[in-house]
Structure 1
Amino acid sequence: MYKAGQSMVSEAPPADDKKTLARSHCRRARAMPVLPKALFLAEVSRERFRSDRSGSPVSLLLLTLGEEGDATHDVMSQALPALRGALRQTDSVGILDANVVGVLLPDTDSRNVDRVAEKVCGAGGYPVASVVKVSYPHVILDRLQAQAKAVDDREGHYFVRGPKRRAWELRTKRGIDILGAVVGLVLLSPLMLATMLAVKYSSPGDAIFRQVRVGKNLVPFTFYKFRSMHSGSDDSVHRNYLEKLISGEAEQTVSEEDGKRLYKMASDPRVTRVGRFIRKTSIDELPQLFNVLKGDMSLVGPRPPIPYETAKYRCWHLRRILEVKPGLTGLWQVVGRSETTFEDMVRLDLKYARDWSVAMDIKLIIRTVRVVLECKGAV
Structure 2
Amino acid sequence: MENQSSTVALIAADELLIQAAGKLNIPGCTILQFENGIDLSNNWSKKKLNIVAILSRSEIIGPNGISLKHALQARKFADVPFFIISDHVNDHLKAIALKEGIADIFHKQQLQYNLQKRLPFIISNWHHIKTNNAVSGQSAYKIPLEKRIFDVVFSSLALLLLSPVLLITALAVRLESKGPVFYYSLRVGTGYKIFKFFKFRSMYVNADARLKDLKHLNQYGAAAETEKVDTAGFRCDDCKQMGTSCQASLYADKHSWCEKQYALTRKASAGAAFIKIKDDPRITRVGKILRNTSMDELPQLVNVLIGDMSIVGNRPLPLYEAEKLTTDKYAQRFIAPAGITGLWQVEKRGKSAEMSEEERLMLDNTYAENHSLLNDFRLIFRTIPALFQKENV
* TM-aligned CA deviation for residue 264 of structure 1: 3.9
* CA distance in 1 between partners of 2:225 and 2:318 (Å): 18
Q: Find the counterpart in structure 2 of residue 216 from structure 1.
A: 190
* TM-aligned CA deviation for residue 346 of structure 1: 1.3
2:306 is equivalent to residue 331 of structure 1: no
* CA distance in 2 between partners of 1:89 and 1:194 (Å): 48
2:361 is equivalent to residue 349 of structure 1: no
Q: Find the counterpart in structure 2 of residue 269 from structure 1.
A: 281
Report Cα offsets for 1:157-200 as digits up to 9, x if no partner: xxx979x99x9x80001011111101111121111111100001
User: How many residue pairs get matched?
Assistant: 264
2:119 is equivalent to residue 145 of structure 1: no
Q: Give the alignment's TM-score, normalised by structure 2.
A: 0.55
CA RMSD, Structure 1 to Structure 2 (Å): 4.7
> Among the aligned pairs, what percent are the same residue?
33
Report Cα offsets for 1:341-375 as digits up to 9, x if no partner: 22211111111111111100111111111211x23
Q: Find the counterpart in structure 1 of residue 244 from structure 2.
A: none
* CA distance in 2 between partners of 1:368 and 1:58 (Å): 57
2:185 is equivalent to residue 240 of structure 1: no
Q: Find the counterpart in structure 2 of residue 294 from structure 1.
A: 306
**RCO comparison, higher one (Cα < 8 Å, 6+):** 1
Match of 2:224, SS state, is: coil
1:95/1:308 contact within 8 Å kept: no
Q: Find the counterpart in structure 1 of residue 355 from structure 2.
A: 340
1:246/1:343 contact within 8 Å kept: no
Relative to 1, partners in 2 of residues 1:192 and 1:354: Cα closer, same or farther, differing over 3 Å?
same
Match of 2:82 among 79, 86, 91: 91
Q: Find the counterpart in structure 2 of residue 19 from structure 1.
A: none
* TM-aligned CA deviation for residue 237 of structure 1: 2.3
Q: Find the counterpart in structure 2 of residue 283 from structure 1.
A: 295
1:331/1:352 contact within 8 Å kept: yes
2:331 is equivalent to residue 315 of structure 1: no
Report Cα offsets for 1:36-77 as digits up to 9, x if no partner: xxxxxxxx9xxx9xx99xx9x99896635799xxxxxxx99x
2:148 is equivalent to residue 178 of structure 1: no
* TM-aligned CA deviation for residue 266 of structure 1: 2.3
Match of 1:209, SS state, is: strand
2:249 is equivalent to residue 249 of structure 1: no
* CA distance in 2 between partners of 1:194 and 1:227 (Å): 14
* CA distance in 2 between partners of 1:93 and 1:84 (Å): 16
Q: Find the counterpart in structure 1 of residue 315 from structure 2.
A: 303
Report Cα offsets for 1:10-34 as digits up to 9, x if no partner: xxxxxxxxxxxxxxxxxxxxxxxxx
Match of 1:249, SS state, is: helix
Larger Rg belongs to: 2
Match of 2:35 among 46, 60, 63: 63
Please, which runs of 5 or more residues in structure 2 have no aligned partner?
A: 9-16, 40-62, 88-100, 112-136, 227-274
Report Cα offsets for 1:90-142 as digits up to 9, x if no partner: 5256898xxxxxxx9859xxxxxxxxxxxxxxxxxxxxxxxxxxxxxxxxx99
Q: Give the alignment's TM-score, normalised by structure 1.
A: 0.57
Q: Find the counterpart in structure 2 of residue 156 from structure 1.
A: none
* TM-aligned CA deviation for residue 6 of structure 1: 6.6
* CA distance in 1 between partners of 2:295 and 2:86 (Å): 31
Letter in 1 for 2:364: D
Match of 2:176 among 202, 207, 211: 202
2:186/2:319 contact within 8 Å kept: yes
* CA distance in 2 between partners of 1:346 and 1:183 (Å): 32
Q: Find the counterpart in structure 2 of residue 370 from structure 1.
A: 385
Please, which runs of 5 or more residues in structure 1 have no aligned partner?
A: 9-43, 68-74, 97-103, 108-140, 149-159, 252-262
Relative to 1, partners in 2 of residues 1:272 and 1:213: Cα closer, same or farther, differing over 3 Å?
same
1:161/1:323 contact within 8 Å kept: no
* CA distance in 1 between partners of 2:223 and 2:166 (Å): 36
